[in-house]
Amino acid sequence: MERPSAKDLIKGFESGGVKGKKLHVLIVYAHQEPKSFNGALKDVAVEVLRELGHTVEISDLYAQNFNPLCTRNDIKGELLNPNHFNYSQETQNTYKNSTLPEDIVSEQEKLNRADLVIFQFPMYWMSFPAILKGWFDRVFTLGYAFTLEAMCDEGLLKGKRAMLSFTTGGRETEFTATGIRGDMEVILWPIQCGLLHFCGLEVLAPNIVYCPDCLDQSQREAVLQEWATRLRHIIQEKPLDFIPVDCFSASKGFQLSDEFLQSKRATGDVAPTVGQHMGKRFAVGSMIPQRLNTKD
Amino acid sequence: MERPSAKDLIKGFESGGVKGKKLHVLIVYAHQEPKSFNGALKDVAVEVLRELGHTVEISDLYAQNFNPLCTRNDIKGELLNPNHFNYSQETQNTYKNSTLPEDIVSEQEKLNRADLVIFQFPMYWMSFPAILKGWFDRVFTLGYAFTLEAMCDEGLLKGKRAMLSFTTGGRETEFTATGIRGDMEVILWPIQCGLLHFCGLEVLAPNIVYCPDCLDQSQREAVLQEWATRLRHIIQEKPLDFIPVDCFSASKGFQLSDEFLQSKRATGDVAPTVGQHMGKRFAVGSMIPQRLNTKD
């Protein structure tokens, strides 16, 4: 199968989509129950993407009984430092020697093949369920997914795209700038910037289904329909906009460079991003760009 | 042993500390290596707190081989709905019937005894390591830690205090309002508000050690010393300030009430909190209050 290069893909997004280009999609799925709404969202994605001629692979973490724990068991053979176990250094070394455990290697190979990764999960405590958190802890090995020399838009997974697709227990009103849980854009910053973007993934807008328990059957079907429609045009989507790594100055401890601080983006009224807020007004739409197109 | 009631404690904090009051402290510790800096921070806490006459209990998650996975295995006996597994509903029921698995019950009993819980961990991907994330996923059972009728300052763990104590890979400059990772206050919102405060815990300022790998031996000792000093006065600390639950209106989908929106806190220039930002300027110091006392 001919697959587009990352460069083609980016061009594709920029020019509004390349017709006929095919993607390889990895869905990392973390729900215990196939009949759940998360299961339905995953099934719709598989169906629609395959219909379009894309190929789809799934990591079904509970079904795989995926081990989320970062322990000594991940290092076969001798430790670099048996007197002081450092998971990150040991696995960096193990990765270099191609002796990571099979379950990690298998997930990294899936990731290597993927142009787009969709994470499908129920939000637990404003974040991933532990099984999916552990997938990142173990699979995004130092040296494989990032180094301190290669981060953000230079991260080692660059050229790939990623999207969070998740359900919440609370309703949408609770996740707003006046809601009891706080703005969902704040909640997504650590994940979308600190994890996905940090490793070089280009981040597509999240697919959020607030409180599926609050929906009746026809509303659920409408949500699945909307998801299918979005996926049909996924190749045309533009990723979120993060500040490029070369706007941060290593000599200032990776803070915004003097040059950037004098630019239009930094001298305006509104924060450049949610996290690089500079004490300014909130950057609405930087984590959930759809919000800019609605009255919300 | 005579222990202060939650009410005494709150009074204690308000009046600047009650001399002679003794706490029972639970340290939930998530590091693989006893010789790590996280191990040292934990050891210092145990030592100092015991010296002061407080009692200390530890959950050493890796040593306990704590299971972080939310699965069917947590439900003994028949399921409420064997055709559609819903972890949260099933464990709510199991909790009501006192048939939760022993490892969860044991952690809940430790929590029941505690006046203060310190979470000691290395930050992995802007959050907890999976083993600690799973501790929250499983131990903070619906019905035990919260219900949708009892949340935030009415949460079921109210009267207890909690503190995050963690290390980071990146340096402090990276976690500022102009840093490449974004402001640590944004990163802490989902955890400190959405998880700890949501369940009624009063949240003490976090203890953050940025990049212990960047410190030499004498700097590390100074950090441990500072931690010891802080712990000696822990009973006098005031918890973070969140907007009380009765300022949110259920009929507005738990958004800020009209009354609150007319109050001084909502009509000022600055956001009331990081998450309830109302599109305003960033609420510096609401997640890391020490920042208000420094030039940062």
pLDDT band at A18 (very low <50, low <70, confident <90, very high): very low
Of A69, A127, A177, the CB nearest to B190: A127
The first and second tokens of residue A194, run together, are 């600190």
Show residues of chain A in contact with B37, CB under 8 Å: none
**What value of ipTM does the predicted structure carry?**
0.93
CB contact under 8 A, B245 and A180: yes
Task: Name chain A contacts of B169, Cβ cutoff 8 Å.
Answer: 88
pLDDT digits (tens, 9 = 90+) for B1-40: 343 444 444 444 443 444 568 999 999 999 999 999 999 9
- Mark yes or no for CB contact A189/B194 under 8 Å: no
Q: What is the pLDDT of residues A218-267, one digit of tens each?
A: 999 999 999 999 999 999 999 999 999 999 999 999 999 999 999 999 99
**How many C-beta atoms surround the C-beta of residue A51 within 10 A?**
11
Angstrom distance (rounded) from CA B137 to CA B239: 24
Asked if residues B203 and B240 have their Cβ atoms less than 8 Å apart, the reply is yes
Mutate to test the interface with A, among B62, B71, B181 (most CBs of A within 10 A): B181
Minimum distance, in Å, between the CA of residue A95 and any CA atom of chain B: 18
Q: What is the mean pLDDT of residues B83-109?
A: 97
Q: Residue A262 is encoded by which pair of tokens?
A: 């004098």
Nearest by CB to residue B130, choosing from A69, A254, A275, is: A69
Average pLDDT of the residues in B99-115:
98
pLDDT at A294: 63
Query: Above 90 in pLDDT, residue A17?
Result: no
* Alpha carbon distance A289, B128 (integer Å): 27
For residue B173, give Cα distances in angstroms to A40, A193, A248, B80.
43, 16, 11, 50
The answer, yes or no, to whether residue A45 has pLDDT greater than 50, is: yes
**Is there a contact between A183 and B276 if contact means CB atoms under 8 Å apart?**
yes
Q: What percent of chain B has pLDDT over 90?
A: 89
SS3 A13: helix
- Distance, in Å, from the CA atom of A191 to the CA atom of A209, rounded to the nearest integer, reads 17
For range A184-202, the mean pLDDT: 98
| Predicted pLDDT at B294 | 63
For residue A71, give how far its alpha carbon lies from the nearest alpha carbon of chain B (Å): 7
Cα angle, residue A224 at apex, residues A219 and A229 outer, rounded to 5°: 125
Cβ within 8 Å of residue B27, ≥6 positions away: B42, B45, B46, B56, B57, B58, B59, B117, B118, B119, B120
Spell out the domains of chain B, with CATH numbers in brackets.
6-13+20-243 (3.40.50.360)
Q: Tell me the per-residue pLDDT of A225-238, one tens digit each, with 9 for 90 and over.
A: 999 999 999 999 99
- Residues of A whose CB is below 8 A from B84: 33, 35-36
DSSP string for B245-272: GGGEEGGGTSEE-HHHHTSHHHHSSB-S
Q: Tell me if B28 sits within 8 A of B63, measured CB to CB.
A: no
Q: What is the pTM of this model?
A: 0.94
| Residue whose entry in the numeric block shows the structure tokens 């719709």 | A44
pLDDT at A19: 55
- Judged by average pLDDT, the poorest of A180-189, A236-245, B287-296 is B287-296
- Tell whether the torsion through CA atoms of A27, A30, A35 and A40 is positive or negative: negative
Two tokens at A165?
Answer: 């697709």
Contact B69 A179 (CB under 8 A): no
With residue A89 as reference, give the H or E element that holds it. helix A87-96
pLDDT at site A21: 84
